[in-house]
Structure 1
């Protein structure tokens, strides 16, 4: 079965207006959008510029750039908006991470000595800076040392140390060995002093002066000598008596002394016989001097041990010592005028010289010096309470309160003067240079080794807060100084037109497509209305 041919002419009559209208609407919109960007340059025909050339955007490029810059600078990227963005937690966390990464890299780096961190091209400035730093350190330290504040601090420190020292016991500072060394020094000094000719001359002159004054004032030897020395001499006499008697026993055993005793005894017997007068010849016939000499020698030989024991007996030693001490006391209490003829100057000089020599010999004796040192040592130890006394108390007893205060004040003044002396300041300056050179030559190393992790974290946070606060304060000024409006305008003006076209098309391509379709739809509707209008007529 076949269909009859279809006549499309009537259909085309009705379809053509809407389709043409749709095509025209789509095409005009397409051309209009295209004319926003094209042509890029003006067209000229017979020297006259073709209207609508170049396109809207190329021709209004500067106005577009200015408007976009104004929108961005005055409405989009304002200092307020940027400040708010900087306070966002996301930005703050990113800032903290960046700071931790950058600062951490520095802290974990194995840094060389500080001068090596400065490039060689700045070596002159580096050397000048180091030299200036040293000089400033020296000047500031010297200025501080010469200031009243330094003197006050040093004096306060010295007062504190002196008080601490004075409050300590003698035993804590000067132990037994220390005090023994002092006593040995005193002993050595005493020996040198007593053995010197200067001491003998001084003692001779002193005794001579004292003797003349005593003769004029009718004083005794006991009044001239110190009481302690008188007691010491009496004790020395008592202590030396046993040695004296032992020496006497030894002397009696010597042949020469024995002969002298025998001769003395025989002489006594002869004198006794002579004193008998007429009976002397008769007695001489009965007594032979040779027999007397022999009997005396035999007696001495027989009683030698008994005599030695008797001289060594404690009872005899005490009695002899007491007698000698008493004799010395009586002699010392007798006015010198009664002993020495004042009118005989030569006799007085001889007495003074003899007394000075004898006293010097006594003082130069090792036993006397040992006794003196023992006496000095025992008295000092008694006074020091065997080291249990406070140093402050001992010095107060020795120097008196005013003497201790004077000594303390002297130490304070001299200490400050010593620290301010030119030599000290020069030494301190040299020390500063040496320490600075040593520190600068030492590798810095890893700063992280010196800083625990918690400290490093606090450093990062502190830098982050500092940076954030600084940005919050400085952003308005920075934004104003940046002139974002001009930057955006200049950037848009500097863009290539094709690139600007691609940029705008990439943003509005979807919208342009719908504009084209809307133009086609609008043309289609206009064509339909036109068709209806024609049919009505």
Structure 2
């Protein structure tokens, strides 16, 4: 704006407003044209189809994946350790436990069938080792001593429980001899029991009985197991589960596990096109429908009054900044050398054409001879003489010198002729 004189500023601003208004008007007409909408719709749809045709690794390169992981880990850590997440997890666990208890469902209904089968199969696999451990424990000295003590106590309790039997047995048998035979009996019984436990039939029967017992236990509603449990203990159970879950969530292992899951998940799908992933997640033709919806929405946005108002306000702001606030600087430095030369020649030709066109009529319209004559006549005679002498003084000097030389030559010629 500093390039223009102050008196032209208002005119210049009016011109800018008119140009901006005409530009916006033509832009609205162009955007509202049906052919433009069709071209825009085809262009956006084509670009979206090209984008969806690429696989995930086309956009998520190893470098970008590494950068994303570096940015994700701090965010994931803040989220996993946030108090809001802990409160939400605690609330969810409390609500979920209450729902499960009040539902009247059994553990078999609550637990997935795969987990139940896994537990039962694992118990069956561990059953031979458990039976073997039981047989081994029977030969343990401490266990043998405890069993002998229990057997002796059982015999004495049985004899004492029958009135009059104690006196008869004491009279007929030497109880110390019987008790001394207990270790031998225990050895024989332990050997027979170990042999019996190692039998395939016994193990199969034990396994079947164990399965039936566990299935009966799993068929019981969960509320039945908690009927005799106090409310305070249930609260403590909830608090314990919530604390353990929140502690795990806040641990580094959980964060690393989540990152590993994300990386493994990305590795399994990064070689597949985005359209295929969308179709798999949202059903058949999901990618095509999504592209059409995005295209339609984008075209609708170009026709919205909000976008037109935003463009108009942004254009006004930019024009105001470029004209009134942004320094122009040295104009020559912003123009290429060839453009400067062309501008110089164009300005020179325009100036020359203007002079050739305007000066002759201007000169013709002025009577310079009359103007000079009137000006001279209006001057004082002495002033005119002074002006003439000022102009012709130099010429008079040469005339005097020439006259002196000419007079000297004429005098010398007369003297020569008179002789």
TM-score using structure 2 length: 0.47
Between the two structures, name the one with larger relative contact order (CA 8 Å, sep ≥ 6): 1
TM-score using structure 1 length: 0.39
- Give the number of the structure whose alpha-carbon radius of gyration is greater: 1
